[in-house]
Amino acid sequence: MEIKIIDKSDWFSYQKLRLTALKVAHESFGSTYEREVQFTEQQIIERISPNSNKFFMGIFDGKELVGMVSFHKEIGEKERHKGDIYGMFIYEDYQDKGLGKLLLSTLINKVKKDYPDLEQIRLSVVSNNISAVKLYGHLGFEKYGVEINALKTGDKYFDEDLMVLFLK
């Protein structure tokens, strides 16, 4: 297993994993399979290409991307002390093996190194995703609120736990 920053050369692997995530865990993401299956290669490359305020990190089994997560730093003058984690997903065959914890720990360490002034990392997680809530808690994230009916699929609502990891 190798953890590295996802770049434009990984666009196809990223899209394959992202579409799988949107199919099998549709309640956990703000976007939809139907929307993202229409993205062009260029749109995907623009999304995943790292810059000074964002990066996508992946865990690879050989050349296959099997897990991913993204980090986005706030850029507004009054919010640049914060960053957000989005889009965490690991293929089912690779879950419950400690890879999510390894991937997030690696991301957190990179953020601490690359953004020394950053004070907190936030994320939201569907409240009934108990394994994810536990994972984030083990890594030091604390729940600070709940967004009621944060996501809606058809006529079903999903609450999200709002969590934060204080770095300072």
Nearest 5°: phi and psi at 39?
Answer: -65, 140
- Under DSSP, is residue 157 helix (H, G, I), strand (E, B) or coil? strand
Three-point CA angle 110, 14, 82, nearest 5°: 35
Tell me the per-residue pLDDT of 20-64, one tens digit each, with 9 for 90 and over. 999 999 889 999 999 999 999 999 999 999 999 999 999 999 989
Task: Kindly state the tokens that stand for 76.
Answer: 């507004």
Element (H, E) at 13: helix 11-24
What's the average model confidence in pLDDT over 125-148? Answer: 95
pTM: 0.92
Task: Kindly state the tokens that stand for 112.
Answer: 């601490």
Structural domains in the chain, sorted by start? 2-119 (3.40.630.30)
Tell me the per-residue pLDDT of 89-113, one tens digit each, with 9 for 90 and over. 999 999 989 999 999 999 999 999 9
> How large a percentage of the chain has pLDDT more than 70?
100
**pLDDT for res 73:** 97
Decide: 44 and 11 in contact? Cβ < 8 Å: yes
pLDDT at 127 over 90: yes
What's the average model confidence in pLDDT over 144-159? Answer: 94
> How large a percentage of the chain has pLDDT more than 90?
94
**pLDDT for res 168:** 79
Nearest 5°: phi and psi at 112?
Answer: -60, -40
